[in-house]
């Protein structure tokens, strides 16, 4: 449990009001002072939280939203540190507002270029310092993919991922899901349109994974050239049995007039396998439209086609299929939603931003151990990762923290499948390609399809792009390996 600084000598009757079920300040102090502190629970990916926990967080957020000023006794004496290596308005301010409403304090490093980073301090060292005594929870935003995962390895206190490169933004996803919970009363089985920059939007990637887990259906309406990345589609298919296919989105009207829509559904694999209409699965109606701006901070704009960026206008909202659809946007927006749409009662993006406070109050109170989640179920199991023992960094992603961080971010991988062997970077989740695979103990390398690879312990696996690289590293080929 995080440290308590509140005086515990006072009578319990003088303690401030607290959330029902939370430990008293005295109980928390006793727990904090006795025995070894438990390992911190982090929120790095939307995968780190179970569906039951999400539902429990939504119920808790409902309570906070009903009376946001009534819970100042929940986290007194606790401090949240905002470490933002990238600009932010809503995420940072909503987290700080949430902590203040819970009665805690905040430390803000909103412009890390004025910190010791310019002196060469690594992210790992910064995290160890801030989590070692300055704060009880760290909210981190960083431009490198996998930065939050690295931070969690070194932090003694909970780390909350507030966005890492184009990888994920789990608390924005929880905010988006919470809005569907409020507006639609459920998430399961909904049809949600994801429109705009689907390639670089980390909010879209996290949201797509979560929607698939809930059994919602996704209609992708991308800006030309900014389609959902292959690795996201592959993961949706492999982990959540999502079936992608062409969509007939004519009923969406002007919104999809210049886009090749794709329908992603975990609900209808049997029907889709029998579906042969060349126009694609017809989109009848949708429950929500999730617009995104072009993420030009992650690309130069050269990838944008010469066509005008997707724009949601009043006439588009007149489409019959959008009659009951709410309009969402993670903000900030540019021109992708016309100002005239603001007055439409279906537009909830400003409500969506406001609801970021109660859901983040729930996240903070939970991770700090101040409020247990009712009927939350078991947390998601963590996936073990392994260091790369020798050889070059196998991660192909130039934006991965293992490539941008000069120290403390040694390459690591996790196993996706053993037969045949498939592995991914433990930080940015990109699948690693390899021409040959070596064993660091025997110093022998094998073809990827060799059955003997299954006998190599994970911590001894070494990945090489070609045989020449393996030989240069001092490895010799297995008997009978092609080319030798």
* pLDDT at residue 1 is higher than 80: no
Q: By the 8 A CB rule, do 165 and 423 touch?
A: no
- Per DSSP bridges, beta strands 436-439 and 444-446 are antiparallel
Kindly name the residue from 3, 59, 90, 246 that is annotated as catalytic.
90
141 among known catalytic residues: yes
Give the pLDDT band of residue 248 (cuts 50, 70, 90). Answer: low
Report the pLDDT averaged over residues 320-347.
87
Neighbours of 405 (CB within 10 A): 19
User: Regarding beta strands 421-425 and 461-464, do their DSSP bridges make them parallel or antiparallel, or are they unpaired?
Assistant: unpaired
**Whether residues 47 and 118 fall in one domain:** yes
Q: Note whether 417 and 435 are within 8 A (CB).
A: no
According to the model, what pLDDT value does residue 428 have? 92
pLDDT score for 97: 96
Q: How many domains does the chain have?
A: 3
Tell me the three-class secondary structure of 178-239, residue by residue: HHHHHHHCCCCCCEEEEEECCCCCHHHHHHHHHHHHHCCEEEEEECCCCCCCHHHHHHHHHH
Residue 297 scores a pLDDT above 90: no
**Pair 16, 163 in one domain:** yes
pLDDT at 467: 92
Mean pLDDT of 22-51: 60
Q: What is the pLDDT of residue 181?
A: 95
pLDDT single digits (tens) 139-164: 999 999 999 999 999 999 999 999 99
At residue 267 the predicted structure's pLDDT band, cuts being 50, 70 and 90, is low
Answer yes or no: are the C-beta atoms of 58 and 178 closer than 8 Å.
Answer: yes
279 catalytically annotated:
no
* 91 catalytically annotated: yes
| Two structure tokens written together for 481 | 């390996």
82 has a pLDDT exceeding 90? yes
Cβ atoms < 10 Å from Cβ of 452: 13
pLDDT of res. 27:
40
- pLDDT of residue 91 exceeding 80, the answer is yes
**pLDDT-based confidence at residue 320 (cuts at 50, 70, 90):** confident
Strand partners, 2: none
More confident position, 209 or 8: 209
- Burial label for 403, CB within 10 Å (0-12, 13-18, 19+), is buried
The reply to whether 119 belongs to the active site is: yes
260 with 298, same domain: the answer is yes
Both 300 and 239 in one domain: the answer is yes
Q: 38 or 247: whose pLDDT is higher?
A: 247
Catalytic residue among 142, 169, 199, 412: 169
Q: What is the mean pLDDT of residues 67-76?
A: 95
| pLDDT band at 315; cut points 50, 70, 90 | confident
23 and 163 together in one domain:
yes
Whichever domain contains 430, its CATH number is 2.30.30.20
**Residue 176 placed within a domain:** no
CATH of the domain at 97: 3.40.50.1370
Higher per-residue pLDDT: 266 or 18: 266
Strands 326-328 and 288-291: parallel
Helices (H), 47-162: 51-66, 90-101, 123-129, 147-154
Of 89 and 113, more confident: 89
The pLDDT score that the predictor gives to residue 11 is 34
Question: What pLDDT does residue 302 have?
Answer: 56
Query: Counting every residue, how long is the chain?
Result: 484
Q: Is residue 349 a part of any domain in this protein?
A: no
Q: Per-residue pLDDT tens for 285-294?
A: 789 999 998 8
Residue 440 in any domain: the answer is yes
Residues 187 and 165 reside in one and the same domain: no
Residue tagged active-site, from 55, 141, 202, 205: 141
Its domain, for residue 63, covers 12-169+357-367
Residue 171 predicted with pLDDT over 60: yes
Please report whether residue 205 resides in a domain.
yes
- The arithmetic mean of pLDDT across residues 119-130, rounded, is 86
Which helix (H) or strand (E) element contains residue 352?
A: helix 349-354
Q: Residue 5: inside a domain, yes or no?
A: no
Q: Do residue 304 and residue 405 come from a single domain?
A: no
Is 251 among the domain residues?
Answer: yes
pLDDT digits (tens, 9 = 90+) for 365-404: 999 999 988 766 666 667 788 998 887 888 989 999 999 9
Same domain, 209 and 323: yes
How far is CA 348 from each of CA 175, 280, 325, 427, rounded to the nearest angstrom? 12, 30, 10, 34
Do residue 254 and residue 215 come from a single domain? yes
Residue-wise pLDDT tens digits, 93-107: 999 999 999 999 999
What is the number of other CB atoms lying within 10 angstroms of the CB of residue 62?
A: 15
Give 113's pLDDT tier (boundaries 50, 70, 90): low
Confidence label for 19 from pLDDT (cuts 50, 70 and 90):
very low
pTM listed for this prediction: 0.82
**Catalytic residue (one of 69, 113, 119, 270):** 119
Tokens of 230: 């292959």
Q: Tell me whether residue 82 is in a domain.
A: yes
Which is catalytic among the residues 42, 55, 74, 91? 91
Residue pLDDT, tens place only, 270-288: 444 433 444 556 667 789 9
Q: Which residues contact 2 (CB under 8 A, 6 or more apart)?
A: 32, 78, 136, 137, 157, 158, 368, 369
Give me the mean pLDDT over the 1-22 stretch. Answer: 37
Number of helical (H) and strand (E) elements in the chain, helices listed first: 13, 18
* Residue pLDDT, tens place only, 412-469: 999 988 878 889 999 998 988 888 999 999 999 998 888 888 899 999 999 998 999 9
Q: Under a CB-based contact definition with an 8 Å cutoff, are residues 90 and 356 in contact?
A: yes
Residue 479's pLDDT band (cuts 50, 70, 90): confident
Residue % of the chain over a pLDDT of 90: 45
Cβ partners under 8 Å of residue 278, min gap 6: none
Q: Do residue 228 and residue 152 come from a single domain?
A: no
| Neighbouring C-beta atoms of residue 188, cutoff 10 Å | 12
Determine the Cα–Cα distance for residues 194 and 261; give it in Å rounded to an integer.
10
- Partnered with residue 281 across adjacent β-strands are 247
Mean pLDDT of the chain: 81
Spatial distance between the Cα atoms of 302 and 191, rounded to a whole number of angstroms: 31
Q: CB atoms < 10 A from the CB of 320, how many?
A: 11
Residue 381 lies in a domain: no
Residues 6 or more apart whose CB falls under 8 angstroms from that of 444 comprise 438, 475, 476, 477, 478
The answer to which of 100-109, 213-222, 266-275, 464-473 has the lowest mean pLDDT is 266-275
Known catalytic residue at 169:
yes
247 with 274, same domain: the answer is: yes
Maximum alpha-carbon separation in the chain: 80
At 268 the pLDDT is: 54
What is the full DSSP assignment across 266-288?
Answer: SS-HHHHHH---TT-EE----SE
Same domain, 74 and 189: no
Closest CA to 129 of 196, 181, 83: 83
């Amino acid at each position: 449990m995080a440290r308590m600084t509140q005086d515990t000598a006072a009578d319990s009757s003088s303690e401030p009001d607290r959330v029902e079920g939370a430990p008293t300040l005295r109980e928390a102090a006793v727990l904090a002072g006795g025995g070894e502190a438990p390992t911190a629970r982090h929120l790095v990916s939307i995968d780190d939280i179970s569906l039951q926990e999400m539902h429990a967080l939504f119920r808790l957020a409902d309570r906070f939203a009903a009376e946001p000023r009534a819970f100042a006794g929940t986290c007194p004496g606790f401090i949240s540190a905002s470490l933002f290596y990238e600009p932010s308005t809503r995420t940072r301010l909503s987290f700080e507002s949430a902590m203040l409403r819970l009665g805690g304090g905040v430390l803000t490093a909103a412009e890390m270029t004025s910190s010791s980073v310019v002196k060469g301090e690594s992210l790992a060292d910064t995290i160890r310092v801030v989590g070692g005594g300055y704060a009880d929870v760290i909210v981190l935003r960083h431009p490198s993919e996998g930065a939050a995962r690295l931070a969690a390895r070194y932090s003694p206190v909970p780390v909350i991922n507030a966005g890492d490169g184009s990888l994920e933004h789990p608390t924005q996803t929880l905010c988006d899901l919470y809005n569907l919970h409020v507006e639609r009363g459920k998430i399961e089985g909904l049809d949600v349109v994801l429109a705009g920059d689907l390639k670089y939007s980390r909010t879209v990637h996290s949201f797509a994974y979560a929607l698939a887990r809930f059994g919602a259906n996704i209609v992708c309406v991308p800006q030309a050239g900014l389609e959902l990345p292959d690795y996201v589609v592959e993961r949706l298919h492999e982990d959540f049995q999502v079936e992608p296919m062409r969509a007939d989105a004519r009923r969406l009207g002007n919104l999809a007039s210049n886009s090749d829509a794709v329908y992603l559904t975990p609900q209808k694999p049997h029907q889709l396998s029998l579906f042969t209409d060349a126009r694609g699965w017809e989109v009848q109606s949708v429950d929500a439209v999730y617009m995104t701006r072009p993420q030009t901070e992650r690309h130069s704009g050269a990838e944008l086609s010469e066509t005008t960026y997707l724009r949601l206008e009043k006439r588009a909202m007149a489409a019959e299929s959008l009659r009951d659809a709410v309009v969402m946007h993670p903000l900030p927006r540019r021109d992708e939603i016309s100002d005239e749409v603001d007055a439409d009662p279906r537009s909830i993006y400003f409500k969506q931003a406001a609801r970021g406070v109660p859901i983040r109050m729930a996240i903070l109170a939970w991770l700090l151990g101040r409020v247990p989640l009712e009927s939350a179920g078991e947390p998601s199991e963590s996936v073990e990762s392994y260091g790369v023992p020798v050889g070059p960094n196998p991660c192909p992603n130039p934006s991965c923290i293992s490539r941008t961080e000069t120290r403390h971010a040694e390459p690591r991988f996790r196993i996706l499948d053993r037969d045949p062997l498939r592995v991914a970077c433990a930080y940015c989740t990109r699948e690693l390609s390899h021409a040959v695979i070596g064993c660091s103990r025997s110093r022998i390398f094998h073809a990827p399809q060799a059955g003997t690879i299954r006998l190599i312990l994970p911590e001894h696996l070494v990945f090489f792009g070609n045989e020449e690289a393996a030989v240069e590293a001092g490895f010799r080929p297995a008997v009978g390996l092609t080319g030798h």
